[in-house]
Chains A and B, each alone.
Chain A
């Protein structure tokens, strides 16, 4: 209990004094996770829409696999990305191991199935609603996809936020592929793991509280921004 309290106090002081190291680490966390979110959304959302709209032979298999991959253990993802990006691995020439890019790659792999699965659920429902109309209007497959993505954008925002939450709170994979290098690849979660390792629970907890606060503020900010757009009811 003492640790919890001193963690809270320390978190408070870290934030109000605008601790430069904390700011750096927090910004890197945000940058890595937002980049991963951006890339993952660009992959997952069109994929989800295509799965909702197109009927092809392996569709059910793909959906089942995506759902299963939501539970992908990050450590395994990290290890696979590590082996691929290592200098002695197939993609070693790129020299990406232990860079923020490697962390982004790992996070993308982790959150694409999550975003695609959640997005697919809502897009499938919307497609049922729109099916007759869009078929009647002779729209192309591409137009179906863009129409669904645009009209389901609020639900997709939820999917994206879920992905962001998973990305920014993830530690197993990015510890392995990022290496937790100070001033290069250290982010909030890996810093927490490091401080826990040093037995400095108060600082670890403080960083944890900052992480939680950050995740909540991002979520609130995005919801608020999208609310102000229109008074819609969904």
Chain B
């Protein structure tokens, strides 16, 4: 019996799945993945290029780290300053803008801080800080977190000095939204994550539209001079596809509940 069992286990252990001709790894941000756009793009990439793109869904901070270590072939993130530093230090060959979406303010429908009436993103934050209403921050060094911090400083406030109402959870977008739902708190989210989020509870979209909230996604191939094993050829193939007219159609045409999420803005090279 034991012998038969072992044989069965071995067979199970060894079996592997079929794979595409080419496989590459790309680190993307949680906000991009939560939008669901990847599920539209990846199958098309597989048929057009016979290329399987394996996504590592992490925060921008970790995505850049993966690129630096050479553990992925390319990254797709949204934090301009960090991206430029990444290229400058030689970890990436270049930075190519692909598309943008926007950030939105989410909060309790009751809106104790009056964010619905805000005139700008900065004004929203000032209202929340004045009311000392519960606020959830990603606190994980992600692109969204960096955006939030830059908005606080534009509002002339220092997030480090806030009281108990400011909760830095150190988690991904979904987990942070779950926390906000539980605390009935305000939170800055990307639109895609919010629309796809299932556990909305009493939360609602309170403010959006300020141009400072636009969120630019860029594609950065990892530098093969730093890491010889990196598949730069595949990354370039992918970049060509992502900036093609076909990708434009798919990205601009992607909607959730009738709302457009992304705007394709890649410049032809």
Binding site for B on A (CB under 8 A): 24, 30-31, 34-35, 37-38, 86-89, 92, 95, 97-98, 153, 179-184, 194, 196-202, 222, 225-226, 228-229
Contacts of A97 in B (CB 8 A): 71
User: Which residue of chain B has its CB nearest to the CB of A156?
Assistant: B2
User: Which residue of chain A has its CB nearest to the CB of B178?
Assistant: A199
Contact of B56 among A37, A179, A226 (CB under 8 A): A179
How far does the alpha carbon of A180 sit from the alpha carbon of B173 in the complex, in Å?
Answer: 16
- A to B CB contacts below 8 Å, 20 in the list: A30-B12, A31-B13, A31-B15, A35-B13, A37-B9, A38-B9, A88-B68, A98-B71, A179-B57, A180-B56, A182-B54, A184-B54, A194-B57, A196-B175, A197-B174, A197-B175, A197-B178, A198-B196, A200-B199, A225-B1
Contacts of A196 in B (CB 8 A): 174-175, 178
User: Which residue of chain A has its CB nearest to the CB of B1?
Assistant: A229
- Shortest B268–chain A CB gap in Å is 30
| Contact status A199-B200, CB under 8 Å | yes
| Contact status A201-B56, CB under 8 Å | no
**Interface readout for B199-242 with A: 1 if CB under 8 Å, 0 if not?**
11000000000000000000000000001010000000000000
| Contact status A180-B25, CB under 8 Å | no
**A180/B57 contact (C-beta < 8 A), A30-B12, A35-B13, A197-B174 known:** yes
Binding site for A on B (CB under 8 A): 1-2, 5-6, 9-10, 12-13, 15, 17, 25, 30, 34, 52, 54-58, 68-71, 172-175, 177-178, 181, 196-200, 227, 229
| Contact status A199-B199, CB under 8 Å | yes
**A198/B1 contact (C-beta < 8 A), A86-B69, A87-B69 known:** no
Which of A95, A197, A228 has the most C-beta atoms of chain B within 10 angstroms of its own C-beta?
Answer: A197
Contacts of B71 in A (CB 8 A): 86-88, 97-98
User: Which residue of chain A has its CB nearest to the CB of B56?
Assistant: A179
- Give me 17 other A-B pairs in contact (C-beta within 8 A), A86-B70, A88-B70 excluded: A31-B13, A31-B15, A34-B9, A34-B13, A88-B71, A95-B229, A97-B71, A98-B54, A98-B56, A153-B2, A179-B54, A179-B56, A179-B58, A180-B56, A183-B54, A225-B1, A229-B1
- Shortest A227–chain B CB gap in Å is 9
Contacts of B174 in A (CB 8 A): 196-199
How far does the alpha carbon of A115 sit from the alpha carbon of B70 in the complex, in Å?
Answer: 35
| Contact status A197-B13, CB under 8 Å | no
User: Which residue of chain B has its CB nearest to the CB of A88?
Assistant: B69
How far does the alpha carbon of A87 sit from the alpha carbon of B69 in the complex, in Å?
Answer: 6
Sorted nearest first, the 4 A-B pairs with minimum C-beta distance are: A197-B174, A199-B199, A87-B70, A35-B13
**A225/B5 contact (C-beta < 8 A), A38-B13, A88-B70, A199-B177 known:** yes
| Contact status A31-B12, CB under 8 Å | yes
Contacts of A34 in B (CB 8 A): 9, 12-13
| Contact status A226-B1, CB under 8 Å | yes
How far does the alpha carbon of A226 sit from the alpha carbon of B1 in the complex, in Å?
Answer: 7
Contacts of A179 in B (CB 8 A): 54, 56-58
